[in-house]
Amino acid sequence: MAAKLDVQQGTLALMILRTIEVLGPLHGYGIARRIEDISKNQLELNYGTLYPALLKLEQEGAISAAWGPSENNRRAKFYALTAGGRKQLAREAQQWRRTADLMAAFLAPPETT
């Protein structure tokens, strides 16, 4: 069984913003499960990682938070993307695409001439 991957520096905020963009307002547990599902359980998020990131995004104005009932009628904090969060998501996604393209070029087999 392969070891779980660590969340790379700077990627968690992007994963959170994208998850909320796709699924709409969601509580922290739902965000964590979605990220784990998308990663095919290669990533495992704990509360000590996720909630500080959510708080930081909220303080930066990228997401807003409101209390509401969860699927099982428990009180939960739901996070929604703000206009600023949409801009941040677009900017960060573009930066990661460029970084991934650059790394792919370095990791590609060397060209023979």
Tens of pLDDT, residues 42-98: 988 888 889 999 999 999 999 999 999 988 999 999 999 999 999 999 999 999 999
User: Model pTM?
Assistant: 0.87
Residue 7 in domain: no
For residue 54, tell me if it sits in a domain: yes
- Residue 2 inside a domain? The answer is no
Instruction: Name residue 79's beta-bridge partners.
Output: 26, 65
Which CATH number do you get for residue 18? 1.10.10.10
pLDDT score recorded for residue 7: 74
- Please indicate, yes or no, if residue 1 is contained in any of the structural domains: no
* Residue 26 structural domain: 12-106
Strand arrangement of the beta sheet that strand 26-27 belongs to: 26-27, 75-81, 63-69
In a domain, 18, yes or no: yes
Q: For residue 113, tell me if it sits in a domain.
A: no
Domain count, the chain: 1
Does residue 95 form part of some domain? yes
